[in-house]
Amino acid sequence: MSGYWPWWAGAAGLALITINYALTTDRSFGVSSAWDRVLHWRRERRLEEMDAEFADDRALAEALAAATAEHFGTGPSAPAVPPGAYGTPQPLASDAEPTVSEDAPVADPGPAPLVTQAALLVSIFLGGLIAALTSGRFHLRFDMGPGFHDLVTADPITMVVLLFVGGVLVGFGTRLAGGCSSGHGLNGCGRLRPVSLVATAVFFGTAVAVSFLLWKVI
């Protein structure tokens, strides 16, 4: 195990990354969601363009009115938007002060920009590559190493089948739970979100149980 960073250094690095990501983007940090958006980049790019096009409430209202008029044939002109509607500012009296309701819901910032999540995935790959090269342990291999041989199987075909089925189950579980270990375990638990606490307890508890069965029973 020589040459590896101590566990506390890795934990501190993950904590700093998670805190910095939350403070700078006000969004949850997650790798599975980044993969989903990057793999469907055409759809996500179109959604980003639509969000940018209708970011202004007045423009959105006018576009909806124009589309309604075109569909129902009521005329090409859109109705005028009265002052104060759809979030447009109203003139204030000279002695009046704007107030903000404390009960007003906080707007959801939505997902991070697509280019940001693509950069995250590339950075993960480059970080692992740099760490392997600088430590002198870089080696291309197509199996899981001697530990996997001794514990599970040494047959290459069986190994590929097991890894494929395991990957499918991980992907299915990640989508079913709405996030992976980085999203729920690092960011969600750090924000004390109940769904993340439950999800993290379930998948880590299951991992401990399966590891116990592999090492002690099977």
Residue 148 located in a structural domain:
no
Report yes or no on 180 lying in a domain. Answer: no
The answer to the question of residue 1 being in a domain is: yes
Classify residue 124: in a domain, yes or no: yes
Residue at 195: amino acid letter: V
Averaged pLDDT of the chain? 75
* Predicted local distance difference test score (pLDDT) of residue 94: 47
H helices then E strands: how many in the chain?
9, 0
User: Quick one: residue 136, left, alpha or beta (phi over 0 = left, psi -120 to 50 = alpha)?
Assistant: left
Examine residue 188 and state whether it is found in any structural domain, yes or no.
Answer: no
In a domain, 54, yes or no: yes
Domain that holds residue 61: 1-88+112-140
- 67-84 pLDDT tens trace: 888 777 765 554 555 555
Identify whether 181 is part of a domain: no
Task: Give 40's pLDDT tier (boundaries 50, 70, 90).
Answer: confident
**pLDDT at 29 (0 to 100):** 75
Using a pLDDT cut of 70, give the percent of the chain over it: 76
- Domain membership of residue 209 (yes or no) is no
For the chain, the domain total comes to 1
Residue 1 pLDDT: 46
C-alpha 35/C-alpha 18 separation (Å) is: 17
Task: Determine the distance from the C-alpha atom of residue 13 to the mean position of all C-alpha atoms in its chain, rounded to a whole number.
Answer: 19
DSSP secondary structure code for residue 55 in this structure: -
What's residue 93's pLDDT?
Answer: 47
Is the model's pLDDT at 184 over the cut of 80?
Answer: yes
Query: Among 22-31, 104-113, 170-179, whose mean pLDDT is lowest?
Result: 104-113
pLDDT digits (tens, 9 = 90+) for 51-71: 776 666 666 677 778 888 877
The two three-digit tokens of residue 191, written as one number: 């924000």
How confident is the model at residue 10, as a pLDDT? 82
What is the DSSP track for 110-148? -SPPHHHHHHHHHHHHHHHHHHHHHHT-----SS--HHH
Q: Is the pTM of this model over 0.85?
A: no
b vs e for 129-143, b when ≥16 Cβ sit within 10 Å of the residue's Cβ?
eeeeeeeeeeeeeee
Residue 204, pLDDT > 80, answer: yes
The residue with greater pLDDT, 144 or 131, is 131
